[in-house]
Amino acid sequence: MSYKIRQLFLCVISLFILAACYDDSSNGIDLPSGGRVDTLRTSTLVYIMAENNLDSYSRKDIAEMYQGAIDVPHDCGMFAFVDDVKIPRILRFYNEGGVPVCDTIYTFSDDFCSSDINEFSGVFNWLLNNYPTKELNIVLWSHGSGWLKDASRERVQRVIGFDNGVNSPDGNYPSVKSVEIDELAGFLEALPVKKGFIMFDACFMQGIEVIYELRNCADWIIASPAEIPGNG
């Protein structure tokens, strides 16, 4: 075997060895462009609590997010946690060669109350462990009462979220649970990642009392002081 042939043979063997040493199942994040990164530049999680009479509206909003995925940069993440009349799941939206894609990247084994602050941790921890990001933007989607008094209960509500616990679009079950604003603030402050903005796709969440509770949770709070129409 000539010297040049031996050198070519060694080069080919080296390439096979290098390819075998590359572990594609590492903790890196697959990018739609075909590359990989350890940490996304920024991510947005839309946390949808729609196990209630907003179920049909959640499907419309998910369809809109799918259409908007065409504009998501490759090094950014766009996700939705969805708890509707089906088993809770996490979706990922991205642009694949100019085509919007929506993948279900995780399905939980059982239904749970998505408006229980103790369950928030499981969702956010899974996302941050599997798709680490330098900055996280959060959209909280559901019914909201802000700081308004509910005449039917004779007390201040100060809540967001609505989970009837029965995988039904009916909103009148007695087991309905919501998240208290102060509980939500404590959870968001403790998240181990920078929060760019928190947006409420829920009614009455721009009261000064709500914003004050959330003053240490993100750089920006985006909300409405009034009702938000389901089709809006």
- Tell me: the pLDDT tens digits for 181-227? 999 999 999 999 999 999 999 998 998 989 999 999 999 999 998 88
Mean pLDDT of 161-170: 84
Q: Kindly report, residue by residue over 91-126, the tens digit of the pLDDT.
A: 999 999 899 999 999 999 999 999 999 999 999 999
pLDDT in tens, 117-141: 999 999 999 999 999 999 999 999 9
Output the pLDDT for position 43.
97
Quote the pLDDT of residue 171.
67
Q: Considering all CA atoms of the chain, what is the largest pairwise distance in Å, rounded to the nearest integer?
A: 93
Model confidence at 232: pLDDT above 70: no
pLDDT at 36: 86
Model pTM? 0.83
- Nearest to 230, CA basis, from 51, 16, 61: 61
Residue 153 confidence (pLDDT): 55
Instruction: Determine contact, residues 223/207, Cβ cutoff 8 Å.
Output: no
pLDDT in tens, 12-67: 333 333 333 333 334 588 887 778 889 999 999 999 999 999 999 999 999 999 99
Please, what is the Cα angle at 43 between 38 and 44, to 5 degrees?
Answer: 160
Question: Model confidence at 165, in pLDDT bands (50, 70, 90)?
Answer: confident
- The reported pLDDT for the residue numbered 151 is 56
Q: How far does CA 54 lie from the centroid of its chain?
A: 18
Mean pLDDT taken over the chain: 84
Output the pLDDT for position 66. Answer: 95
Asked if 141 contacts 46 with a C-beta cutoff of 8 angstroms, the reply is yes
- Nearest Cα residue to 66 out of 93, 84, 35, 31: 93
Q: How many residues does the chain have?
A: 232
Distance CA 160, CA 198 (A): 13
The percent of residues in the chain predicted with pLDDT above 70, rounded, is 82
Confidence (pLDDT) at 3: 44
Work out the pLDDT band at 148, boundaries 50, 70, 90. Answer: low
Return the pLDDT at 103. Answer: 95
